[in-house]
Amino acid sequence: MEQHRGQPDPARPFELPNLFTQDIDTVPVHCVRPADTSHPTWAVYQHTRYLGTVHARAGTCWYIQRTRELHTDFANAVRALRRPPSWPRDRAQAVHWARQTLGNADLRIINIQTTGLHDPRALQIAVADRTGILFNELINPDHPVDPAATRLHQHTQHTTRDAPSFSDVLPQLTNALHGRHCIAYNLPFVQQVLRSEIARHHGSAKPHAPLPASASWEDAMIPVAQWTGLWSVQHHNYRWPRLPGTHEATAKCQAVLRHLTDLAHN
């Protein structure tokens, strides 16, 4: 068998050699095509440990023989092979959580689009329940918008200049969240933005203002990561999947709801 020299490209699987090595999350895996086949099939090893067998499919999909699942990315196929023994239990817990959450009549899903990651200000907030969008407001952040953020959600200071301020929409937002079970994707970031906005509303420079009263909060990203089961050996935890869809607050709320529904139906 020939040993590949140079960097292999799993995005072109039908050109891969019989033997190649790929670094996934800084840890190399060694891929060996069985001697009895010429098909695009490789046994995957981490050090001397056999992880499983993957098969390249048309369209650069990777099929895992043991679990019968498809991944569009070779790295994610390897991360799936690296799942810890606790994954079936972790996945079951995520399914149970999603079913309980969808059964809660007080469910509210919130998403906030911001001016950027540094000193983020809200410029769109949406709140949804199982039936649809309950609250959706474009907000004038009175703050420069990072060009990187604009490339994602297309908003600038110009597109938001006639929008209401956060203080203008706070009463309506509070009514939407008060006493509800609030779900966000990447909850720490959402809470950081809300606390900072509420603090500015009250004239405080310290972003420690309380969130809307009586609301309970949970992060959907953690059970979604458990359910997806892409293990990062670098962080010794499940990778947090990106939320699909456009960078628009109502679309992100709907994407979270689809995730919950997928989890609940397992």
**Position 156 confidence tier, pLDDT thresholds 50, 70, 90:** confident
Q: Worst-scoring range by mean pLDDT, 9-13, 62-66, 98-102, 201-205?
A: 201-205
DSSP letters spanning 85-149: TTHHHHHHHHHHHHHHHHT-TTEEEEEEEES-SSS--EEEEEEE-SSSEEEEEE---SSPPPHHH
Whether 5 has a pLDDT exceeding 50, the answer reads no
Could you give the CA distance from residue 81 to residue 63 in angstroms, rounded to a whole number?
11
The C-alpha atoms of residue 140 and residue 143 are separated, in whole angstroms, by 8
Average pLDDT in the chain: 92
CB 39, CB 63: distance < 8 Å: no
Same fold, 13-82 and 88-265: no
Q: Which CATH superfamily is domain 88-265 in?
A: Ribonuclease H-like superfamily/Ribonuclease H (3.30.420.10)
Given a cut of 90, is residue 208 above it in pLDDT?
no
Give me 157's structure tokens: 């200071």
Residue 60 has pLDDT above 90, yes or no: no
| Whether residue 160 has pLDDT greater than 50 | yes
Q: Hey, where are the domains in the chain?
A: 13-82, 88-265
Residue-wise pLDDT tens digits, 213-252: 678 999 999 999 999 999 999 999 999 999 988 999 999 9
Rg (CA), the chain: 22
Model confidence at 205, pLDDT cuts 50, 70, 90, reads low
pLDDT of the residue at 213: 61
Closest CA relative to residue 255, chosen from 266, 265, 242, 264: 242
pLDDT at 256 over 70: yes
Is residue 253 over pLDDT 50?
yes
In DSSP notation, the chain reads -PBP-S---TTSGGG--SEEEEEETTEEEEEE--TT--SSEEEEEETTEEEEEEEEETTTEEEETTTTEEESSHHHHHHHHT--TTHHHHHHHHHHHHHHHHT-TTEEEEEEEES-SSS--EEEEEEE-SSSEEEEEE---SSPPPHHHHHHH---TTTTTTSPPHHHHHHHHHHHHTT-EEEESSHHHHHHHHHHHHHHHTT-SS--PPPSTT-EEEETHHHHHHHH--EETTTTEE--PPPPS-S-HHHHHHHHHHHHHHHHH-
Q: Which class is 13-82 in CATH?
A: alpha beta
Rounded CA separation 8/24 (Å): 13
112 and 166 in contact (C-beta within 8 Å)?
no
φ and ψ at residue 64, rounded to 5 degrees: -95, 120
Q: What percent of the chain has pLDDT over 90?
A: 80
